Every structure is written in C-alpha cells, then in structure tokens.
Structure 1
Amino acid sequence: MVKIGIITGSTRQGRVNTQVAEWVKSIADKRTDAEYELVDIKDYNLPPFNEPVPAIMSQDYQAPEAKVWSKKIDELDGFVFITPEYNKAITSSLKDAIDYLYPEWNNKAAGIVGYGSTLGVTAANNLRLALSVPKVAVVGTQPGLSLFTDFQDMSVFNPAPYHEATINTMLDEVVTWSTALKTVREKTAVEV
C-alpha cells in the first residue's frame, strides 16, 4: 500500500490552508487504497532556503530542519499539495520546502488542490512547474476552490458538496500513479 502525504502550502498566522488540508484528509480517510497523512510544513520550521549548494548536487543538508524534512518526504510515495494563491504563485514557504530536497521527490506522483479568488489556478500551474524539476509527476485532475463561494468571509472553509467527487477523482489518479512510480523507484534502487 502506498503512503500519500497531504502537504499544507502555507505557514502564515491565521491561514485557512489547514482547514482545506483536513477536509481533503477526511475524504481520503474514507478510502482503503492508501495510507494518508497530513504533513504540515509549518511543523518542520524550515528556514528560508539558503543551502550552500542545491539539493540536486548534495544531500548534505546544513539546516537540521532539512534533515527531518528529508526523512518525512523520503518515506512517502505520493503527495497532495494544498496551495493558496499569493500574487499568482505559491507561497515562499512551499517553494522553499520543495527546493530543500531533490532525490526525495524523484519519481513520485502528486495532486494539487488550489484555492484563491480565481480558484488558485495560477498557483497550481506554478506548482506544477516547480515540481517538474525534481521529477514529480502531477496528475491531471486539479480541484480548485473559490475564496468567494467555498469560504465564509474568506476565513471559514465551507466547500460546495460537489467538490468531494473531484477530490476523489484526483486521489484515484494520485494513488494509481504513486503505485506505478513506486515500482520505478524499486527498479532503480536494485540497479544501483
């Protein structure tokens, strides 16, 4: 069985990101096709990315927080990123969390749930691009939530019921791709 991490994309005070992540986890918990875990990037206390060399060149992380983050991402087979849209992009904390690592992301699958005034579409597309370099395969179904219709006063998450079907479709794809890519990682490990 594959392990899927539902990763928060914001660390700011008063964030609604955890409400969305917990909702996705509640839908995932009704399923029996994978192990699902909420992974809050705020818990890892990652400093702004400032390693002496990029992770693609060395996994000798200087920041002790990066070592703990590396272990967590390495043990997961796939991801669901919950990303708000800030100025038409992902948050700097999410970008830093991605940039700290490289091989830990390789040959894994991800789904993206975006939210914002325009459904988080631009941030989700920005995240797709950021994940392409560390070789994360992003699935096609991309749920988008509106700050105007899926949140009360832009602060209390209250999603429209039809979103659950889209979340399940995305989870189907993430589990299928994560399962397939696990065999790729296993084959690569044997060859090395």
Structure 2
Amino acid sequence: MTKSIMLVGVGGQGTILASKLLTIGLMEAGYDVKMSEIHGMSQRGGSVSSQVRYSEDNVYSPVIEIGGADMIVSFEKMEALRYLKYLKPEGKVVVNNYRLNSVSTLVGKFEYKEEEIDSELKRLNAKIIDAAKKAEELGNAKVMNVILLGSLVKSMKLEKIDWEDIIRKNVKEKFIDLNIKAFRVGMDLVEEISKATV
C-alpha cells in the first residue's frame, strides 16, 4: 500500500533537504519511492512543497492527489492550512510552531490570522512541535528541518530504518553529530506529545 507524505514550508527552511533524507532512507530500506518538489520563489521566502510517496510495491506517480496525503509536515504554521486539501480525512498533521511571513503575506496578498490558524490546527488534532526553539537550544537554528524529520519518522512509525547512518552519509562531516541530536529530539517530541494526549 502506497503512503504519501507532504512536506511544506517557506523557502530557506530546509524542506527539500528533509525530503531528500527521507527519500534516501526509504530507498535504502527497500521501498519504491517517488519524490517531487515544487518551489514557489523558494529562494525569496515563497511557498515550497515536496511530495514523497513510498510503497513495498511499485509507486507509479510522485504526485499526491487532493485528499491523498497520509501526513502533512509543515515547517511553518500558515503553510499547514494552505495544503490541508491534500490531507486524507484520517491523515496526520505535524506542525512547527513557528511563524514566518511568506512573500504572499509580506505583499499583503494574504493576511496572517494567527488565532484562526491555531484554532484550526487544534481542531485537526495536529501535533505541534517547537522545532525552532529546540534547534536554538541545540545551538543552530538550521537543524529545525532535521528535528521535523525526526518527528515525521516517529509519527509514521519508520524508526526501524537506520536514520543515523543516512544522516552520516548525507550531511557535512562537521554537522553530523548536531544533526543526529536534532533527529533524536524530533522523535522525542512526538513521543512526549503522544504521552500527554493519552
């Protein structure tokens, strides 16, 4: 059975790197994987989405249809709502508790309605992750994406894959230990949330 994951965010947040690590890990675990990226002015703070589909059988299309995503991982709060139409009724949402004005909000095309966003995320029973804050605590804001990757892996029950090895092989040497720590933090955050909601 094919599983579909959508990673969304704002350009510069590391969404594509997280998707690539996810894709490599799934491929090394023997899954057939298809990945597609959509950059909307990603270099200038535009909306970015990446779609990853995997299965033990063949995956024929990299594109997730409306209502077809098992999970949406959003690196920024408002971006989660922008892509909600892709979520299955029983799908899961993991959201970084982080506000970053995209080009659309900065030019006044969209209004950032934080209260409405928060109440919608609550209604969806989204797992809200303080990835930005945890990344700062680790000493490097850029590992926020790997924290979110860890949260995704835990939420989708993909822990059996050797993610630490994937990180070692695909991250610059001086950042390996930091990224492995960040990945573990992400997994722990989901566990804490799950325990708190039981």
Instruction: Provide the TM-score with structure 2 as the length reference.
Output: 0.39
TM-score between the two structures when normalised by the length of structure 1: 0.40
More helix by share: 2
Higher relative contact order (Cα pairs below 8 Å, separated by 6+ residues): 1
